[in-house]
A and B are shown apart, each in its own frame.
Chain A
Amino acid sequence: MDWQAFWLTIRLATLVTAILIALGLPIAYWIAYSRWRWKFLVEAVVAMPIVLPPTVLGFYILVALGSRSPLGRWWQTMTGHTLAFTFTGLVIGSVIYSLPFAVQPIAASFALIDRKLLAASATLGASKLRTFADVVLPLSVPGLITGVALTFAHTMGEFGVVLMIGGNIPGITRTVSIDIYDEVQAFNFSAANQTALVLLGISFVALCLVYGVNRKLWALWPLK
């Protein structure tokens, strides 16, 4: 069990989840409540990381972080090296590939709230911000928990994108899923198994949390 990789991955997942809740709330709010006729284009862009092959996503992120892109060049002048193959670069890439896992459950939760409640809040003198804080958020707790759990679990387990933009540097970008791959390549099956079981356990706990808080909403089978 490579503890260095494990703690690195936990740090990555926690940081990415925190960033995505901050970024995801306004995006989810816009998706849930906007009536722009081209909204579906934005929704498609947000959902892309779910269906894109990880290598495609990884490739484009690598190009965007690398020394040929505006972002990459700016970073290079600031710090003296590229974003690719750094922990920061990994965080940026992870935020992109985990975006739909945060935004979609939260947007769904927002959209399910009865619009009349928002209207009532407004007639009682509440600003849009207060309505969001006092009505929308409290009624979206299941969606928020789902977003957090899925983002965390997904970031813990991502492989393809991490390998492409991280470069598997121990202590910097060598996450747990890459560690498992390396152990299998080196025929250390028992080490690989230990690490894999830990990931399995974390994923299972995350999903139990998701289905547990959403018992009234999302069952995989219809509720009797």
Chain B
Amino acid sequence: MRTASEIAPITATPKSGADVLTARIRKRLPAAGRDFELDIDIKLSPGITILFGASGAGKTTLLDCVAGLVMPDGGKIAISKRTLFDSDSATNVSIKDRHIGYVFQDLALFPHLTAQKNIAYGLADMIANERQRRTDTILESFRISDVRDRRPSEISGGERQRVALARALVTDPCVLLLDEPMAALDAPTKSKIIDDLRAWNREHHIPILYVTHGSDEVFALGENVVVLENGRVTACGTPHEVMTAPRQETIAQLAGFENFFDALVTASHEDRGTMTCRVASTNVELETPLVRAEVGSTLRVGIRAGDILLATARPQGLSARNIIPGEIISLEQRDVIVSVGVDCGVKIEVHLTLAARDSLQLRRGCDVWLILKTHSCHLMAHSARE
């Protein structure tokens, strides 16, 4: 897994005969306050690549550039040998000739056409029989045959989503772009559509770029994750690498880490693979995994609330290396989880079960010990935002 400083074009070995999408894009967009600049260089092989990032990171702009809806200021976009855009040779293939499927965030279904006519819209160049056959097949495989003669306003959100997907896929595109397609759907509907998409992808082997800011879709769908932050790629790797062992605070925040604080590296133990860090403005010392950082430098530490154990008496004989005394300053029940705020020099949030709270009889003011495994402490670059 690579850090931001090591990222060069992200590559994966392309399967022979399959299309690879390469995109080197530079685009400046005027925005209130500071101009936004997109500057990326990615290579996508067949399969689902998740484009992950907070709102405003530039994900939609990236998709629009690939589709031809927005013209980049510079760079090159190509599908295998076919160049779609090249600022050096002033090539810019028109949107309609790019053969790229695009499912928009708000679907953009034609309101005056039935589901069937929407899907068949991209097949106008085919003879009627073939067009009907393809439309019927995809209606079947996405399970929307029974709504074929209804207008978009007359069908449910999940059905509309499937019509939009089918409309883009029935044209057999070389690349598929999806912009937060599941945003408005509930979990069971989402997972069924994700299965349909996966099944289709197994048969068609094209690069699929799936934009989202929801972490659950990352795990459900992604074979490869690209993280976009403020117009730049800051991380890439498998979902597990990027989300569970994040190297960037923003990813950690998106991935659901609750605790963040600064820590000073006081010692480095290379033979043991660990480091000692002192939490800023305290004398709490933590043993953390070894990362490439100099003694005396400041890093950000991220810890999941669910990774921390609580004890009402100082434990003995434990494998965990970090046992820190503190005092409970807040107790909050959230559904079936109890969120405990502990002050041990720095405020830490711990998640416990209701049973644990009750059997330990935890209350505000109780003295407790926090137990943290070395590997529960995730070290990240100190956020130096340019």
Name A residues whose Cβ lies closer than 8 Å to a Cβ of B: 114, 116-117, 119-127, 130, 134-135, 138-139
Q: State the Cβ distance, B265 to closest chain A Cβ, in Å.
A: 50
Q: Is B67 an interface residue (CB 8 A)?
A: yes
Q: State the Cβ distance, A134 to closest chain B Cβ, in Å.
A: 8
Contact with A along B304-337 (1 / 0, CB 8 A): 0000000000000000000000000000000000
Q: Which residues of B contact A123 (CB under 8 A)?
A: 67, 69, 95-96, 98, 100-102, 168
Q: Which residues of B contact A117 (CB under 8 A)?
A: 108, 110
Report the Cα distance A114→B95, complex, angstroms: 18
Known: A117-B108, A120-B108, A130-B124. A125 touches B99 (CB 8 A): yes
Q: Which residues of A contact B101 (CB under 8 A)?
A: 123
Q: Which residues of A contact B112 (CB under 8 A)?
A: 138-139
Q: Is B104 an interface residue (CB 8 A)?
A: yes
25 examples of A-B residue contacts, CB within 8 angstroms: A116-B104, A119-B67, A119-B95, A119-B104, A120-B108, A120-B110, A121-B110, A121-B121, A122-B69, A122-B94, A122-B96, A123-B96, A123-B98, A124-B121, A124-B167, A124-B168, A124-B171, A125-B99, A126-B124, A127-B96, A130-B124, A134-B121, A135-B110, A138-B112, A139-B111
Q: State the Cβ distance, A178 to closest chain B Cβ, in Å.
A: 43
Q: Is B122 an interface residue (CB 8 A)?
A: yes
Which residue of B has the minimal Cβ distance to A118?
B108
Q: Is B106 an interface residue (CB 8 A)?
A: yes
Which residue of B has the minimal Cβ distance to A131?
B96
Q: Which residues of B contact A130 (CB under 8 A)?
A: 124
Known: A119-B69, A120-B102. A126 touches B108 (CB 8 A): no
Name B residues whose Cβ lies closer than 8 Å to a Cβ of A: 67-69, 94-102, 104, 106, 108-112, 121-122, 124-125, 167-168, 171
Q: Are A126 and B121 in contact (CB under 8 A)?
A: yes
Q: State the Cβ distance, A114 to closest chain B Cβ, in Å.
A: 7
Q: Which residues of B contact A139 (CB under 8 A)?
A: 111-112
Report the Cα distance A130→B112, complex, angstroms: 15
Which residue of A has the minimal Cβ distance to B67?
A123
Q: Which residues of A contact B167 (CB under 8 A)?
A: 124
Most buried by B among A120, A121, A123, A134: A123
Which residue of A has the minimal Cβ distance to B112?
A138
Q: State the Cβ distance, B30 to closest chain A Cβ, in Å.
A: 14
Q: Which residues of B contact A124 (CB under 8 A)?
A: 96, 121-122, 167-168, 171
Which residue of A has the minimal Cβ distance to B106?
A116
Report the Cα distance A125→B124, complex, angstroms: 9
Q: Which residues of B contact A114 (CB under 8 A)?
A: 108
Report the Cα distance A120→B168, complex, angstroms: 9
Q: State the Cβ distance, B74 to closest chain A Cβ, in Å.
A: 22
Report the Cα distance A139→B109, complex, angstroms: 13
Known: A120-B108, A123-B67, A123-B69. 4 other contacts (CB 8 A): A119-B102, A123-B168, A124-B171, A135-B110
Q: State the Cβ distance, A121 to closest chain B Cβ, in Å.
A: 7
Report the Cα distance A138→B113, complex, angstroms: 10
Report the Cα distance A121→B171, complex, angstroms: 12
Which residue of B has the minimal Cβ distance to A139?
B112
Q: Which residues of B contact A122 (CB under 8 A)?
A: 68-69, 94-96
Q: Which residues of A contact B67 (CB under 8 A)?
A: 119, 123
Q: Which residues of A contact B100 (CB under 8 A)?
A: 123
Report the Cα distance A116→B60, complex, angstroms: 13
Q: Which residues of A contact B95 (CB under 8 A)?
A: 119, 122-123
Report the Cα distance A138→B94, complex, angstroms: 24
Q: Are A120 and B104 in contact (CB under 8 A)?
A: yes
Q: Are A125 and B122 in contact (CB under 8 A)?
A: yes
Q: Which residues of B contact A127 (CB under 8 A)?
A: 96
Q: Are B108 and A119 in contact (CB under 8 A)?
A: yes
Q: Which residues of B contact A126 (CB under 8 A)?
A: 96, 121-122, 124
Q: State the Cβ distance, A52 to closest chain B Cβ, in Å.
A: 38
Report the Cα distance A114→B67, complex, angstroms: 18
Most buried by A among B68, B69, B109, B125: B69
Q: State the Cβ distance, A73 to closest chain B Cβ, in Å.
A: 45
Q: Which residues of A contact B99 (CB under 8 A)?
A: 125
Report the Cα distance A123→B67, complex, angstroms: 7
Q: State the Cβ distance, B368 to closest chain A Cβ, in Å.
A: 54
Q: Which 3 pairs of residues, A with B, have the shortest CB-CB distance?
A: A124-B122, A122-B95, A120-B108
Which residue of B has the minimal Cβ distance to A114?
B108
Which residue of B has the minimal Cβ distance to A130?
B124
Report the Cα distance A117→B104, complex, angstroms: 10
Q: Are B125 and A125 in contact (CB under 8 A)?
A: yes
Q: State the Cβ distance, A125 to closest chain B Cβ, in Å.
A: 5
Which residue of B has the minimal Cβ distance to A113?
B111
Which residue of A has the minimal Cβ distance to B117?
A134
Most buried by A among B95, B101, B102, B122: B95
Q: State the Cβ distance, A111 to closest chain B Cβ, in Å.
A: 17
Q: State the Cβ distance, A112 to closest chain B Cβ, in Å.
A: 12
